[in-house]
Amino acid sequence: MESASEFDLIRAFFDWPAAADNTIRIPVGDDCSVITSPAGMSLAQSIDTQVADVHFPKFAPAHLIASRALRCAVSDLAAMGAIAHSFHLALTLPEASNDWLASFSQGLRKTASELDIQLIGGDTTRGKELVISIAVQGWLPSQQGLTRSGAGVDEDIWVTGLVGESAMILPSIIAQPQLDGPETQPYYHPEVHLKFAQALLPFASSAMDISDGLMQDAAHIAKASQVALCIQAGRIPTPVAYGAKSSDNALWEQCVTGGDDYQLLFTAPKSQRETIQTLAREHNLPNCQVIGETKSGSTVSILEPNGQQRLFKQTGYTHF
Ligand code: ADP
Ligand code: MG
């Protein structure tokens, strides 16, 4: 869009009052945003795209779409242990509806304030589908960062909280896109573990956020670190019980393979267990727990209490 209304739209909905932050030299409105990097910090960057009816229902309330889009994007900063700083928003809209934009902008602004991250620029275009791309920036103390490749052998495998809450509510959201209540929180307002991950920097050896199911994402750490991840099925925190009736087991399997709850999966030497338990308590993460251990190898296995490997029909979500 290159009409006057494009600029009116940006001014009305995305040019928020500048925060008192002297690291943002040039905010929304110029050809580039310009930020000043603090001494001793490296810039962490990531971009995340969400497409209507692929990543969220097109007719969901716009403020909820905004919340989920921003939280999913910022989750990548948490997965590195970075401090969230700012983001750019590229929005492709089938039409410029003031009501929709007002709701989207309100949801985005509220979420940005909750996550303490500033909108500093973007791009607004018309297109057939609603597409939201968010590029995030954050700071990592130089020489630090939770990569996928740092796990060693004989370490604990941790998860920050429940996996599968989002997968459990998704069918209801698809059936009723207007649904907006406490039950939809895990899907639209996934917790972003920024502060906890920053606290983990000295203690964890690897980390990632779970966006395509625990099982599938665990394979990324296994491959990058060249370690086997041996996960105890019964220790994975899920909203449905493990090992009860077989009907519950089908739901349990969906939790472990289908979850996009943006929990962090991380590894740490066993010697750090008590320290991490204390940090989890301090950060109010009651379901943060050790779910297994790393061994030599490069695969992921989910083990039954009798030690047998559990086989799954599907391991997680893939786009292609
Ligand atoms: P350019 O033509 O240089 O790419 P634009 O005309 O697209 O710039 O955008 C004008 C200004 O508005 C830029 O500073 C850009 O970063 C900002 N902007 C455009 N769309 C958005 C948006 N959806 N949210 C925040 N800022 C935006
Ligand atoms: Mg432009």
pLDDT digits (tens, 9 = 90+) for 274-289: 999 999 999 999 999 9
Distance 306 CA to ligand 1 centre (A): 57
Ligand 1 site, residue 200, Cβ cutoff 6 A: no
Beta bridge partner(s), residue 264: 209
Q: Report the C-alpha gap between 37 and 25 in whole angstroms.
A: 10
Task: Quickly state the pLDDT bin for 75 (edges 50, 70, 90).
Answer: very high
Residue type, 208: M
Question: What does DSSP assign to residue 59?
Answer: T
pLDDT score at 243: 79
Burial state string for 152-183 with b = 16 or more CB within 10 A and e = fewer than 16: eeebbbbbbbbbbbbbbbbeebeeebebeeee
Q: How confident is the model at residue 21 (pLDDT cuts 50, 70, 90)?
A: confident
How large is the average pLDDT for residues 139-154? Answer: 97
| pLDDT at residue 263 greater than cutoff 80 | yes
pLDDT digits (tens, 9 = 90+) for 36-51: 999 999 999 999 999 9
Is 112 a pocket residue for ligand 1 (Cβ < 6 Å)? no
- Which ligand 1 atom is at minimum distance from the Cα of 90? 23
Q: Which atom of ligand 1 is nearest to the CA of 121?
A: 16
Kindly give the distance from the C-alpha atom of residue 91 to the centroid of ligand 2, in angstroms, as a whole number: 10
pLDDT exceeds cutoff 60 at 91? yes
pLDDT above 70 as % of the chain: 96
pLDDT in tens, 308-318: 998 887 666 66
- Closest residue by CA, ligand 1 atom 14: 29
Taking a C-beta distance cutoff of 8 angstroms, is the pair 172, 183 a contact? yes
* Ligand 1 near 30 CB (within 6 A): yes
Q: Note whether 21 and 116 are within 8 A (CB).
A: no
**Nearest-5° Cα angle at 86, 81 to 90:** 115
Can you give the pLDDT at residue 244?
61
Q: State mean pLDDT over 198-205.
A: 98
Residue 213 has pLDDT above 80, yes or no: yes
Strands 131-141 and 41-51: antiparallel
Distance (Å) of CA 299 to CA 221, 228, 231, 308 = 9, 5, 11, 15
Spatial distance between the Cα atoms of 267 and 294, rounded to a whole number of angstroms: 8
Span 25-33, average pLDDT: 94
Q: Is a pLDDT exceeding 70 seen at residue 3?
A: no
Query: Three-state DSSP class for 43?
Result: strand
Predicted confidence (pLDDT) at residue 236 exceeds the cutoff of 90: yes
Q: What is the pLDDT of residue 2?
A: 47
Q: How confident is the model at residue 64 (pLDDT cuts 50, 70, 90)?
A: very high
Q: Ligand 1 centroid to 235 CA: how many Å?
A: 47
Instruction: State the number of CA atoms in the 13 A half-sphere of 230 facing the CB.
Output: 15
Nearest to 93 by CA among 134, 57, 129: 129
pTM reported for the whole predicted model: 0.94
Window from 158-172, 182-196, 221-235, 241-255 with minimum mean pLDDT: 241-255
What is the C-alpha separation between 192 and 169, in angstroms, rounded?
Answer: 19
Q: How many CB atoms lie within 10 A of CB 221?
A: 27
Residues surrounding ion ligand 2 at CB below 5 Å: 123
- Is the CB of residue 176 less than 8 Å from the CB of residue 275? no
The pLDDT-based confidence of 68 (bands split at 50, 70, 90) is very high
Q: How far is the CA of 53 from the centre of ligand 1 (A)?
A: 25
pLDDT for the residue 245: 67
Which tokens belong to 276? Answer: 């991490």
Helices (H), 138-272: 165-175, 185-188, 194-200, 214-225, 246-258
Token pair 């599968």 is at which residue? 164
Q: Which residues sit opposite 31 in a β-bridge?
A: none
Q: Which stretch of 142-151, 159-168, 289-298, 311-320 has the lowest confidence by average pLDDT?
A: 311-320
Q: What is the mean pLDDT of residues 107-135?
A: 97
Q: Provide the 10 A C-beta neighbour count for residue 230.
A: 19
- What is the overall mean pLDDT for the chain? 94
**Is residue 238 over pLDDT 60?**
yes
Largest CA distance in the chain: 67
Rounded Cα distance between 239 and 294, Å, is 25
